[in-house]
Structure 1
């Protein structure tokens, strides 16, 4: 009886050890994970309501500087340092309007995002507005449009004069 009990116990232990050894068998297959950052990525978007309107309704409007502030006007995403230029696509229309240079454009210093800011005078050629900006996934710039001196607007035919301003973000 003892020998049957010992034999049964040995068989039971052998089965358990066999199961345990079988359960611990490892099977691995390596997986490579890659992150491809080779593409230069840059975008610039206008935030909010981008249109700018200067209104000269009375004599007092011609005697003081006028500034139109556009909070969150430019939003840039870039995986490399970048700069932003600004240019008018053409002279003010209708023809015979004020010179483009009556308008200056500034990014507000509080929104420099680590870049160097420069006041840009509106012209048909590119003018630097932001230089040496670091890479960012959401650089927001508040922009001010200013007519400092309205003297050149005094002897212009009464009309609404319009041009299109183009912002370009370029990686350095």
Structure 2
């Protein structure tokens, strides 16, 4: 039995000492990384989008009026884009002033690399406001609404005349 144990012990020792550790060789495997892009554009109005022109007294009718809307809307686009403006309908109630009495201007400091069109009169036909603005993750636009001459408001009945204005951003 001792002899058998000695043989087993020698066999185990031979296996343990006979096994050599070898260094591993480097291997590599290629990995594909994909970035799948989809054209994306959005326009979001600021916190207080309503524009109010108030004519309370005679002095209001004697000069032009401008309502400035800071951070009026924000555009996010992964490509260059244009912005247009259009009124959805004439001023209501019927018999109100012509839409073109109000002009729209984007503040040049917020043009986002685009070419501005100055003094765009409101119309039910979309009109260019900014052409070729650069792609952006959040271009904020300041907008001025102006009634340069109150003469067309004379002889109109006292009322609140309103329309809805729509801004559209379109990728190029």
Which band: TM-score by shorter chain?
A: 0.7 to 0.9
Q: Which runs of 5+ in 2 are unaligned?
A: 1-14
**Superposition deviation, residue 25 in structure 1:** 5.4
Q: Which runs of 5+ in 1 are unaligned?
A: 1-10
Correspondence list, 1:1-172, <5 A? 18=21, 21=23, 24=24, 26=26, 28-37=28-37, 39-119=38-118, 120-172=120-172
Q: Provide the rounded CA distance (Å) in 1 between the counterparts of 2:16 and 2:140.
A: 72
Q: Provide the rounded CA distance (Å) in 2 between the counterparts of 1:108 and 1:47.
A: 15
CA displacement, residues 14-34 of structure 1 (integer Å, 9 cap, x when unaligned): 76x51x63xx35564432101
CA RMSD of aligned residues (A): 2.0
1:91 match: secondary structure: coil
1:90 match: secondary structure: coil
Q: Provide the rounded CA distance (Å) in 2 between the counterparts of 1:135 and 1:141.
A: 14
Closer/same/farther in 2, CA of residues 60 and 36 from structure 1, 3 Å limit: same
**Count of equivalent residues:** 158
1:84 match: secondary structure: strand
**Superposition deviation, residue 13 in structure 1:** 8.1
Larger-Rg structure: 2
